[in-house]
Amino acid sequence: MQRFPYNENKQRGTFDFPFEFHHVTHEHSRYIMPYHWHVEFELVRILQGSLEFTQDVKTFTAKEGDVIFIGSGILHAALPHNCIYECIVFDMNTFVQYNDICRKFIQQILNYSVIIYHHFSKEQKKIHEIAWDIFESLREGHEGYQLIVLGQFYHFFGTVYREHLYFTDMPQTPRDHKRIHLIKKVLRFIEDSYASSITLEQLSSIVPMSPKYFCKFFFEITHMTPMDYVNQYRIEQACHQLLTTDLPITEIAFNCGFNDSSYFIKVFKKYKGTTPKKYLKQ
């Protein structure tokens, strides 16, 4: 199965232990998870509230206690509702390196001949218990937690095989496959160009489609207009800069594609419900 380039390209965890852990509350700069994809796999658990989650073109709601599994190269996004959730982004090749006996099973997941179910409810108690142990071990970081994380991930994959919690072919139509490929091209352009001026005509020409048809196409997949997505993406980048740099607000606004600081504050308040200054204080 063909896979497309990914937009997040960075070191996860450490070279010897490539597991990156995130605890996400409403104060997190990426509380609303924008559409993106990466070569690594990801595990998500919902601690509170609910998460409206989209993988490729399918949307579902994950509730407290649920677990989400995201494969390599899968386009995904999330809209939280009074939600606290945690994510582990990890390199699946880690499990090939550590154990030759298990290699053939992990290789099937890497080669997409086995596609793990994307959503496990808390009623699936075995998966729930294993995932919770992985997350708690990473969060606490006690002595020897690396052994538990590796062991429980093997336990997770073994349970998936034993209970047959997977597909043997991607449940995706050729039409959906093409649409995902096209939307990724547009999102990649936005990620590369958000600091500059972006017009609807520019975005529609990437696909290419007429601006009118492109708006319909984009909305069907993302449930947002193209320019709403651009503005939300810029605000998420601004939040990250507010929390990780000492740059003045006017400079952050400029860095994120806003030439007018008043308009930046207006758009920021639309998406975050508060001003940049108040957001920083919170």
Contact 203, 214 (CB under 8 A): yes
Q: Is the pLDDT of residue 182 over 50?
A: yes
Rounded to two decimals, the pTM is 0.79
Residue 5, in any domain of the structure: no
| Count of domains observed in the chain | 2
Domain identity same for 148 and 27: yes
Label residue 4 by pLDDT band (50, 70, 90): very low
CA angle 211, 213, 219 (to 5 degrees): 100
Integer-rounded Cα radius of gyration of the chain:
20
Domain identity same for 144 and 248: no
Residue 3, in any domain of the structure: no
- Note the pLDDT of residue 6: 36
Q: Residues with Cβ < 8 Å from 251, sequence gap 6 or more?
A: none
Domain of residue 252, residue span: 174-281
Q: How many CA atoms lie within 13 A of 62 on its CB side?
A: 30
Query: Residue range 238-262: average pLDDT?
Result: 92
Tokens representing 130?
A: 């294993």
Q: Residues with Cβ < 8 Å from 262, sequence gap 6 or more?
A: none
Q: Is the pLDDT of residue 26 over 60?
A: yes
Residue 273, domain CATH:
1.10.10.60
- Note the pLDDT of residue 97: 74
Query: Residue range 226-254: average pLDDT?
Result: 92
Percentage with pLDDT > 70 across the chain? 93
Quick: pLDDT tens for 48-98: 999 999 988 789 999 999 999 999 988 899 999 999 999 999 999 999 876
Distances (CA, A) of 140 to 21, 31, 93, 145: 11, 22, 24, 8
Comparing 128 with 221, which gets the higher pLDDT?
128
- Note the pLDDT of residue 2: 32
Which of 108, 142, 167 terminates a domain? The answer is 167
Q: Is the pLDDT of residue 44 over 50?
A: yes
d(CA 144, CA 101): 23
Query: Residue range 103-116: average pLDDT?
Result: 92
